[in-house]
Amino acid sequence: MKIVVLGGTGDMGSAAVQDLLQFTDVQQVTIAARNTAAAEKLATRLGDPRAVVQKVEATSHEDLVRVMQGHDVAAGALGPFYRFEKPLVEAALSAGVDYVSICDDHDAMQAVLPLDRAAAEKGRKILVGLGWTPGITNIFARKGYDELEEVETIRVYWAGSAGDSEGLAVILHTLHIFTGKVASFQDRQLIDVKAGSGKETALFPEPLGKITVFHLGHPEPITLPRNLPGVREVTLKGGLAENYLHSLAKMMVTLGLTSTANRKEKLGMLMKKLLPLFPVDKNRSLSGAKVEITGKRNGKKVRITYATVDQMRRLTGIPLSIGACLLAKGKIKRCGVFGPEAEGAIDPDPFLQELARRDIKVHRLETEV
């Protein structure tokens, strides 16, 4: 079992590399990165001979194909995904390898779903969005959906902190999802809503507690209604523990500083330098995910809530590792391009057991409404 991790030196990718070496029987983990010095440093720190390094230029289709070939699975942790996800999927199809990613951009998800038929015809499995959110949130949604006879609404919430990750890709993603219109599924229709609208307060397990959240651009409203029939509404809202960053992000959007990929890149580089100077809530420097599934069972209206809180890199990198291992071992039978909640994709119970094995605690609450 050989797995290559694209973007393996980043916060999320390195967590996946570490988890594959620590918790699976993988024969080789290839850390693929443009910065081979950083990759070698990571491999040395992990101290496992199964970790090897390969240089890759992610803007080159031919180079991506070359690096992916010879592996059982390619794992995508290379952000921002609005830039890299489609090229990575196309390279995996050309290389003839299965692929799993932590893609968290709504427009990137919409760009790769049309490749479903091509992937299915090739017998390839392209599992997109298996990280924290999307990923764990999708598994929570699938789990709650299967526990009810009829599901009306699925409300996805996430919370993060500037103190939990300082990677450039995370900064670019945050700027991206606060920009323009984003997807939401309401009244059985996929619609566009203004990013940063729909302000409300969501309650997460401690120490996160109450977090102000907004409509933001994530893939769950796109994939969940496709794979969970009968659902009337799927919304996603997210926010940061540091409320002032919401206002800062909205101001940058209003000034047009995030209107193009190039502008986002320049702003992201500046923000990466400045963020260490900004105040962070050290008591809440963690990330969280919560999914509320409301429906009926035995004639009663029920709400099932699943939630978790941990470090962002663990919540994101560990699911990527689990998914890569499941693909490599042939545990996922579905072919094509699909989200984690799809039929024939991830079985929620074994997945949650794997999270528990890594000490990621999942909270469950059921109430009648």
Q: Note the pLDDT of residue 168.
A: 62
Range of the domain at 68: 2-131+313-348
Identify whether residues 194 and 166 lie together within a single domain.
Answer: yes
Identify whether residues 152 and 247 lie together within a single domain.
Answer: yes
Residues in the chain with pLDDT values less than 50: none
How many distinct structural domains can be found in the chain? 2
Q: Note the pLDDT of residue 362.
A: 98
Residue 359 is which amino acid?
D
Report CA-CA distances (Å) from 172 to 60, 80, 131, 215, 339: 21, 6, 17, 17, 23
- Of 98, 151, 160, 150, the C-alpha closest to 124 is 98
Q: Per residue in 319-367, pLDDT tens? A: 999 999 999 999 999 999 999 999 999 999 999 999 999 999 999 999 9
The residues pairing with 29 across neighbouring beta strands, listed in sequence order, are 3, 51
- What CA–CA distance (Å, rounded) separates 45 from 37? 12
Identify whether residues 227 and 336 lie together within a single domain.
Answer: no
Assess contact for 338 and 116: CB atoms under 8 A: yes
Identify whether residues 157 and 292 lie together within a single domain.
Answer: yes
Identify whether residues 260 and 271 lie together within a single domain.
Answer: yes
Torsion on CA atoms 139, 100, 236, 159, rounded to nearest 10: 90
In a domain, 368, yes or no: no
Q: Note the pLDDT of residue 272.
A: 66
What tokens does 33 get? 């990165």
Q: Note the pLDDT of residue 20.
A: 97
Identify whether residues 307 and 343 lie together within a single domain.
Answer: no
Identify whether residues 29 and 84 lie together within a single domain.
Answer: yes
In a domain, 363, yes or no: no
In a domain, 358, yes or no: no
- What CA–CA distance (Å, rounded) separates 104 from 79? 9
Identify whether residues 165 and 265 lie together within a single domain.
Answer: yes
Identify whether residues 171 and 236 lie together within a single domain.
Answer: yes
Identify whether residues 268 and 335 lie together within a single domain.
Answer: no
Domain of residue 151, CATH code: 3.30.360.10
Identify whether residues 278 and 202 lie together within a single domain.
Answer: yes
In a domain, 53, yes or no: yes
Identify whether residues 282 and 321 lie together within a single domain.
Answer: no
pTM beyond 0.85: yes
In a domain, 123, yes or no: yes
Q: Per residue in 151-162, pLDDT tens? A: 999 999 999 887
